[in-house]
Chain A
Amino acid sequence: MSKFSFPPWAVWLMALGLLAFIGMVAYSIRRNRGVKRTLFTFPYGLWIAVFTIIPLLLIGYYAFTDRSGAFTLDNFKTFWDSNYEMQKQLLDLGFNPLELGVARGNVNVDTLVYSLWMAFLCTAICLVLGYPAAFFMADRAFKLGSTLVILFIIPMWMNFLLRTIAWMSLLEDNGLINTLLAAIGLPKMKLMYNSQAVLLGMVYNYLPFMVFPIYNSLNKQEYRLSEAAMDLGANPRTTFMKVTLPLSLPGVVSGITMVFMPSVTTFFIPRVLGGGNTEMFGDLIERTFLMADNWNVGSALSLIMMVLIIMSLTLLRKVDPEGEGGSTI
């Protein structure tokens, strides 16, 4: 903490911003005999410029330049080109070529495809598990709905790293599940260090994010609509398919968004529960920045991911233009 110091120009910039803000407030007080409320947004505007916009521009800058700072598109080429230098660099750092480079044609593209596939599977499983749970919770005859919502939130307070590590002690070769299996005379199973274990960890972490929005949109639904459908002769199945389900779609869409987005960029879970060939895109970006120390390629990878996410968001917005199921807590 004691070593903390801003470069002088940053101090000047902040002082200038503060002065500008005070000046604007003073000016507006003189003119309107009161502070204009829109001015309250000014500090946040400044904040977002410094801590969101400029950092994003920096990523853009590094993605389109090489180490000397000259413009280049090579960083993106690295992404497509399988025999690129960076791969060798990464392999030199002690990553098993059999697991990383050779077994897969192109580390980067394969990792991206693998991440998208895993995120898709995770989202699908969460939807299949989460929709019935939300549906039963929102049932009007079921009085404990709101209590269960809290029960779904509580596990998220446990540090997510520790929760993931806790799965290790369940899945290990000598872990609890295998001990139980041995006790009833069944052979041990290999449960860890594979894609299934990573998927389990992801579903475990993201399931609540699917349940909440669906529960919300089911819960605020006008129950008389489905009663009316029943009165008009629809059986429960038709009522569900024609009334309840379509009305809950905004919640489903926002659930999908909230599970899919973090799933694609999952970081850490594959490292703990996965094996050598279960690396995901988040880990790849981190490794490119911190271990391979290649900011340019790392920035290009980040940009590619951002573009993908913005694309899927726009796609989802088309289904749910109001962003209705959005509010969760």
Chain B
Amino acid sequence: MSRLIKRGYLALVLLFLYVPIVVLIVQSFNAGVSRAKWQGFSIKWYIDLFNSPAIMNALYITVTIALLSALFATILGTLAAIGIHAMQKRQQSLMMALNNIPMTMPDIVTGISLMLLFIFTQVPRGYVTMLLAHITFNIPYVILSVMPKLKQMNKFSYEAALDLGATPGYALRKVILPYVMPGVITGALLSFTLSLDDFTISYFTTSPLVQNLSTLIYSEARKGIKPTMNALSALMFVALLVLLLAVNRRASLNQDN
């Protein structure tokens, strides 16, 4: 009985989380524009989607920014984490405190402060400023993913490599990097998804001419969202789901071996 209650409760919570998503996906196959009435099955919104230059352009900007910001943030963050790890206690806690600032700042303050910086330095807001902003909010998460791996590592293995004649660069590549790689990958994936979903910071650091999906949706929200957006998010949802299942499958295969 109590087992039933537990499962029922979890099912209810999940239902709450999934109802709007199911609604969204169902709407994307609705022939009419009406949000509530079912007017027959159609894939016309999916066809519209690929013929809409605004959405395709926003998709391109969103994905390239997510990829580039994840790449830069991962490189900078991993380097920084290795550096911070090698520091003395006091410097280390100073750097970690600095690293915490962007994470505790509310998104809206991060966005506005960067907007002020770009206006103050007369850098026109657009693609590059949005990319810089995304790198900025991603780096701390990379550091936080890599740091635990560095701490777990036996600190003598690096020194052993040096004693055995490895140059510091060689030891870094052959000892430290392979060990922290899972953390690096976690950080990169986290950065990618954070960047993909970001709205607030992008909103303040780009111009109306360069829009990612979130800011495009925001500007259309007042006019009423067209089902084409639903179609796009349904597609992205399925793509991410497949990606996750593939990653999971790989992970479980690796475990079996």
Contacts and interface: CB of A to CB of B under 8 A. Distances in A.
Interface of A: 1, 3-7, 10, 32-45, 47-48, 50-56, 58-59, 62, 129, 132-133, 136-137, 139, 141-142, 148, 150-152, 154-163, 165-170, 172, 174-176, 179, 204, 207-208, 261-262, 264-265, 267-268, 272, 282, 285-286, 289, 295, 298-299, 302, 305-306, 309-310, 313, 327, 329
A59 B112 contact: yes
Given A34-B167, A155-B18, A282 B106 contact: yes
B106 A309 contact: yes
Contacts of A267: 107-108, 200
A150 B244 contact: yes
Contacts of A42: 83
Given A4-B124, A34-B167, A162-B225, A172 B35 contact: yes
B132 A51 contact: yes
B14 interface: yes
Given A48-B101, A272-B221, A306-B105, 11 more contacts: A40-B83, A41-B83, A48-B99, A55-B116, A142-B6, A148-B10, A157-B197, A158-B236, A169-B23, A268-B199, A329-B186
B117 A167 contact: no
B116 A6 contact: no
Interface in B2-19: 3, 6-7, 9-10, 13-14, 16-19
A10 B124 CA distance: 13
Nearest to B230: A162
Q: Of residues A10, A152, A267, which shows the largest number of chain B Cβ atoms within 10 Å of its Cβ?
A: A267
Contacts of B24: 158, 162-163, 166
A204 B16 contact: yes
A59 B10 contact: no
Nearest to B86: A37
Contacts of A141: 3
B113 A166 contact: no
Contacts of B199: 159-161, 268
Contacts of A36: 86
The binding surface of chain A is classed by DSSP as helix
A157 B106 contact: no
A298 B13 contact: no
Contact of A158 (B84, B95, B139, B233): B233
A40 B36 contact: no
Interface in B29-49: 35-36
B20 interface: yes
B213 to A, nearest CB: 6
Contacts, number: 245
A188 to B, nearest CB: 12
Contacts of A137: 10
A65 to B, nearest CB: 13
Sorting the interface of chain B by its residue count into under 10, 10 to 19, 20 to 34 or 35 or more gives 35 or more
B218 A161 contact: yes
A38 B87 contact: yes
Contacts of B127: 1, 4
A255 to B, nearest CB: 15
B230 to A, nearest CB: 7
B163 to A, nearest CB: 13
A6 B10 contact: no
A98 B19 CA distance: 35
A264 B106 contact: yes
A155 B214 CA distance: 16
Contact of A44 (B76, B112, B213): B76
B14 A174 contact: no
Contacts of B84: 38, 41
Given A40-B83, A264-B106, A167 B20 contact: yes
Contact of B169 (A1, A35, A329): A35
A5 B123 CA distance: 6
17 contacts: A5-B124, A37-B85, A39-B83, A40-B79, A40-B82, A48-B102, A52-B102, A133-B13, A136-B9, A139-B6, A161-B218, A165-B225, A166-B20, A166-B21, A299-B116, A302-B113, A306-B106
A55 B169 CA distance: 35
Contacts of A169: 23, 27, 35-36
Contacts of A10: 121, 123
A296 to B, nearest CB: 11
A41 B87 contact: yes
B180 to A, nearest CB: 12
Contacts of A295: 116
A56 B79 contact: no
Nearest to B234: A158
Contact of B217 (A54, A62, A132, A162): A162
A276 to B, nearest CB: 15
Given A34-B169, A155-B21, A160-B197, A282 B108 contact: yes
B122 interface: yes
- Nearest 6 Cβ contacts at the A-B interface: A41-B83, A55-B113, A40-B83, A34-B168, A44-B80, A166-B20
Contacts of B54: none
B153 interface: no
A56 B101 CA distance: 10
A25 B128 CA distance: 28
A3 to B, nearest CB: 6
Contact of B17 (A41, A59, A204, A327): A204
